[in-house]
Structure formats: structure tokens, C-alpha cells
Amino acid sequence: MQQEEQRIDGHTRVCGLIGNPVEHTMSPIIHNTLAKKEGRNLIYVPFHVENGRVGEAVKGAFALNVLGLNVTVPYKSEVLEHLDGMDGMAEKIGAVNTLVRTDKGYKGYNTDVTGLYRAMCSEGIRLEGEEILILGAGGAARAAAFLCASKGAKKVYILNRTAEKAGGVAEEVNRAFRTECVRAMRMGDYKNLGTGRKYLAIQATSVGLYPDKEKAVIMEREFYEMIHTGFDLIYKPFRTKFMSMVQEAGGQAFHGLKMLLYQGIEAYELWNGIAVPEEDALALYRTLLEYMGI
């Protein structure tokens, strides 16, 4: 593809991110690098939206002819009432992270789910027929649970400090897919799963996020001996305590930077009606690594 300098003129299309906070986002690197690579007249900027004003932000963005928006915490569910429709998976999950402009407003999508799947596939991780442990029951864990169920996981155990919250997620996922494969457990109840089986584990809590890089939500080595593959949705630090403990127990471990990459690419593809070649995705991944000093 021809590579040109980005320009801003009367034809420039604007995309962006709404959330609170947004000051440390890496998303502009993804979208502006892709636009520059393609020679596309598009610019991506973060918008800090104060609490209680997300509806105004969406309405104002539409009035200003903004092509599309990403949505980050704390607005992924709050934004729903201000949309002109939702993709089927986003509707099941009850959360969106990508808004695509239509004639009447914005349609919501959840590229966290599709981005996570694409990231895992790129690392050779399969979900079909797997027994999976998900740590946490927040928004990221919900997205992971919906993904696992939709791709035919054999069993999904949601481990959380409070079993009630995990139970709510399990019930939602089971109802959405008419299955009983998702089960809620307290964090320490992994010991009841027995020995002899190996699991895929998805770390979906904020424990271990920089600067608390020496923390993991579970610290017992016996837990990590149950894991053949660990996928941490955190990408900073580049090697989390969870990842280290998986590897020390003999498993393979991956971090969440490719999830960030692919959820962004999927949003870019939706806004522009294109498919980003995999070689461009991998080049962009190297750019993100360089930005992080790795």
C-alpha cells in the first residue's frame, strides 16, 4: 500500500475514543498508523468525557459527523441507551466498545470479543472443546466468557472473589447460548476441580497491572500446575506475575497486547469497510512493542 503523510483538511474524517480516563490510551497509535499506512484521510483522537455526559458526547459526535468511536471504561454499558442498534454479540453481552456511524445514529459492536479471539488464534490457542478457567467477573471476564461459550468450549469456570458476581455472569452466558457449560466458583475453589486435567486460563482481573507487577490474583503454585496455557488480558507490564507463574510451572503464557491490537483493527475495519492484511497487523504489533520500549 502507498504510504503518505497524514493530512488534515476539509475532507478529513474523525474517529476517536470516549472514556474517563483516556489520557494513557495507546489506541491513537493503532488507528493513526493504519491511516498513514493506507494514505487514508482519517485522524483518531481521544475524548475525555466527564461522568454523566456520555449521551451528550454521542449526540455531539453524530452532529459533528464523527465517523466512529471506541468506548472504554466506564461507559461500555452506559452508552447503550444512546445507540441506534447493536450487533448480535454486543446485545447478548450488554456492552459495546465500538460505535459505527449509520444514517440515524451509531450502531454498537463489541470488538473486545472478536479482538480477543483473533489474538488467541494468532498464538495458536483454541477454544473449541477446551476446559477454561476465567479469573475475574468484571467486564473483561464477561467478554471472555461469552467468547468461550460462543466458540464451543467444553467447560468454563468463572473464578471470582465473590461467587455471586461470577454466578450472575455464568447465568447470563448460559441463558444467551442455551447451554450449561459455564459455572461460577469462588477464587480458592479451583482446588475442588481435582488433579490430572490441564486447563486454559484467562486472567481477566486488574491484579498485576503496572505498577503492581509482582502481584497475581492467585499466588499458589498448585494452581499454575493445572494450566497448560495462560492468557493475561493485561499488557503492561509485558510479563506479568501471572505469566511468570504459568511459565515457571511449565505452561506457556501470553499477554494482552495483541487483544488491544486486534480489537482496534476490528474497529478500524468496521469504520472503513475494509480488511487489514495480516502482515500490516503484525507490523503494527511491532510498532506497539517499540512504543512500549520492548
Positions annotated as catalytic residues are 76
Strand duo 199-203 + 227-232: pairing: parallel
What are the angstrom distances between the C-alpha of 281 and each of 107, 125, 271? Answer: 25, 18, 16
Which residue matches cell numbers 456492552?
95
- Hey, which residues does 131 pair with through a beta bridge? 155
Answer for the pair 169, 137: CB distance below 8 angstroms, yes or no.
yes
> H helices then E strands: how many in the chain?
10, 11
Cα distances (Å, whole numbers) of residue 56 to 47, 52, 158: 12, 9, 36
Q: How far is CA 151 from CA 114, 117, 147, 198, 257, in A?
A: 11, 9, 6, 19, 21
Q: Which three cell numbers stand for residue 200?
A: 486454559
Contact assessment for residue 31 and residue 264, using Cβ atoms and an 8 Å cutoff: yes
Cα 228–Cα 232–Cα 237 angle in degrees, nearest 5: 125
User: Which residues are 237's β-sheet partners?
Assistant: none
